[in-house]
Amino acid sequence: MIKINKDDDVILLTASVTDFADSLGYCEYKIPLSIKGVKPKPSQSLIQGTKAHHAEEKYEAEHVELEPVSVERLGDKEEDIEFARENVYSTLMMPFEFSKENVLLALSGRIDKILRIDETLVVQDDKFAGRPQVYDSKI
């Protein structure tokens, strides 16, 4: 569900990444419905994306041996690590101007994969488009 609250002079828009992205990808009429808590039938893109996520999880379970990541290993910025599809959640807080209002966008969701290579943290969130050819001409 997408929630909009006004606190003093700031509008706070909170949503899960899935609900927010799904609202934008479906049609302009879905956003007001999502704000009211109305959920339509899953779209074909959502069904395909769910299947693809499950396939990735199954592949990793069968072919990848991951060790639990300790707090000490996380703290060692020089150690390359990878941990995937665990219960790691994140929230992106992004302020932006909208018309004449101050808006703070908060998107929350489960991270699909995190790895650190050469002291750089890489956060991966898999998305699966229903019609990927739409993005062929976009750079």
- pLDDT tens string 69-120: 777 887 888 888 877 656 677 888 888 777 778 888 888 888 777 788 888 8
Owner of token pair 């050819």: 133
Check residues 59 and 134 and name the one with the higher pLDDT. Answer: 59
Where b means 16+ CB within 10 Å and e means fewer, 52-83 reads ebeebeeeeeeeeeeeebeeeeeeeeeeebeb
Check residues 22 and 88 and name the one with the higher pLDDT. Answer: 88
- Mean per-residue pLDDT over the chain, rounded: 76
Instruction: With H, G, I as helix, E, B as strand and everything else as coil, classify residue 1.
Output: coil
Please give the pLDDT value at position 139: 62
87, 4, 130, 126: CA torsion to nearest 10: -30
Q: Is the pLDDT of residue 34 over 70?
A: no
Please give the pLDDT value at position 106: 84
